[in-house]
Amino acid sequence: MCPTGFLGFVKIGDREWSTREINVLRAIGALFAQLQARVVAEERLRFIANHDDLTGLGNRRALLEYMEQRLAPGQSGPVATFFLDLDRLKALNDFLGHTAGDNFIRTLATRLREHRDPVDMIARLGGDEFVIVPAKPMDSVEAELEATRIQELIGRRVTVGDESVSRAASVGVALGVPGETTVADVLRRADHALLAAKSGGGNGIAVFTDTMRAQFELQDDVELNLRGAVADGSLILHYQPEVDLRTGRVVALEALVRWQHPTRGLLPPGAFVGVAEATNLAGELGRWVIRTACAQFSDWRQRGLANDVVIRINVSPVQLVSLDFVESMEDTLRRFGIDGSSVCLEITEHIVVQDLTRTQVTLRGLKRMGIQIAIDDFGTGYSSLSHLKALPVDAVKIDRGFVQRLGASTDDLAIVKSIVGLAGSFGLGVVGEGVETAIAARTLVGLGCYRAQGFLIARPMPAEQVEAHLAAGRIPLDLELPRVPRG
């Protein structure tokens, strides 16, 4: 250890130092050395407590302390906060190894330090997440421009070993007002903005807005209260008829879950199903839907209202790969006295490719009970011919986005025509979703797709309203359909 100072002692009188005096001086020197070592250790501990060990940047604790100061009353604002997430860093780790990934992050940290004002806070929260809080006040326009500059800086190539690599970054931006906004609020908003920036596939920038606030408030509300909704009876099912466009005959009913929220009113599935899947509630919600739909369908059957109708039920990825799903379906059908051929389970295309092997096993088990299988939202780009050939599928439902634009888009017409032809070549049924105009219905019939559902035919409705259509057996349609030759 290098000396950091000197102590001088003067002895008055006899110039000779006694052994006792020398020992005292040595003891004093040792005490000072111990004190110095303690000071150095404490400084080291303070540094470790406030800095990331990989990069030397500030850590979460340092970030929170800095933001508390910046957001204190009387400080200049607005205070911009940039939440950064490197896109696909895992791919770099998988290809070059974690050491290379660490070297990349160190180089990136050095680059950020060199190109930022020394008084700015740059923190690494772990993994591939960083937060930058400039000392300079910024409004939303300035902050978005700054986010673009940060993104460009991160995107420059880095030499790691023998490779020259780069990673894009998604950036979420939030603003805080000193004396009004808390640190927790700003970080939560920046995190929400980051999720929005990443939702487009990465390399995005999003500034937190009031619209985003409402969206995430709803999400938080749903996450907190959905589990109780499954148990307290506030979930309900609506049913949307599917008809033969040539006759209006009701051929199927799709069960669609709704949530009668105590303060937000009737929520559609898009408002809460995604949250259920993200919070491990999808299985519980899915079982409730299947059980409730089968109970209602059984009641209709017993009253002679749905003898020639199929009940369609959507299945989540969580349910499909569950080891006991086939057994659970068998128990449900037996409990309500329903034959499997009267039930069609609908799966989306992206489920098919998540775990093809497990999906095959599950679907084959369901087919042994006679249950029909349909691929929902077909044509959105995930599935392939090989998957259709490998899976025991009975029908495909053309994604509503293509059907809604029939009559206005030649590209969508070509896609729908291809899907109908593809289904025919595989011996599959085909259903058009999202029929909202007469021209769309006429076009489907002209292409050979006779089964459809959509707002033009009937909106999803409560069970008691469906019964009138079931009793009539058909829904009157005035589509001016072209004459279809028999045979």
CATH of residue 384: 3.20.20.450
345 neighbors 313 (Cβ within 8 angstroms): yes
Question: Is there a domain that residue 36 lies in?
Answer: no
Cβ contacts of 188 within 8 Å, gap of 6 or more: none
The burial of 52, by beta-carbon neighbours within 10 Å (0-12 exposed, 13-18 middle, 19 or more buried), is given as buried
Instruction: Name the residue with higher pLDDT: 87 or 42.
Output: 87
The reported pLDDT for the residue numbered 309 is 96
Question: Is there a domain that residue 420 lies in?
Answer: yes
Domain that holds residue 101: 60-215
Same domain, 354 and 430: yes
Same domain, 193 and 239: no
- Does the pLDDT value for residue 226 go beyond 90? no
Angle at 457 between CA 452 and CA 458, to 5 degrees: 115
Question: Is there a domain that residue 281 lies in?
Answer: yes
The reported pLDDT for the residue numbered 48 is 64
Question: Is there a domain that residue 355 lies in?
Answer: yes
Same domain, 381 and 453: yes
Same domain, 204 and 303: no
Same domain, 205 and 261: no
Banded pLDDT at 487 (limits 50, 70, 90): very low
CATH of residue 99: 3.30.70.270
Same domain, 82 and 132: yes
Same domain, 200 and 294: no
The burial of 352, by beta-carbon neighbours within 10 Å (0-12 exposed, 13-18 middle, 19 or more buried), is given as buried
Question: Is there a domain that residue 13 lies in?
Answer: no
Banded pLDDT at 319 (limits 50, 70, 90): confident
- Does the pLDDT value for residue 321 go beyond 70? yes
Question: Is there a domain that residue 188 lies in?
Answer: yes
Question: Is there a domain that residue 25 lies in?
Answer: no
Same domain, 69 and 170: yes
The reported pLDDT for the residue numbered 176 is 94
Q: End of a domain among 162, 184, 215? A: 215
pLDDT tens-digit readout, 433-460: 999 999 999 999 999 999 999 999 999 9
Cα(226)–Cα(234) distance, integer angstroms: 10
Query: What stretches of 181-245 adopt beta strand conformation (E)?
Result: 205-207, 235-244
Question: Is there a domain that residue 222 lies in?
Answer: no
Q: End of a domain among 161, 180, 215? A: 215
Q: What is the number of domains present in the chain? A: 2
Same domain, 309 and 391: yes
Same domain, 353 and 459: yes
Same domain, 378 and 241: yes
Q: Give the DSSP H/E element, type plus range, for residue 462.
A: strand 461-462
Look-up: residue for tokens 């249950």?
Answer: 371
Which two structure tokens, joined as six digits, stand for 317?
Answer: 């990825």
Same domain, 417 and 304: yes
Angle at 319 between CA 237 and CA 388, to 5 degrees: 100
pLDDT tens-digit readout, 213-225: 887 777 778 778 8
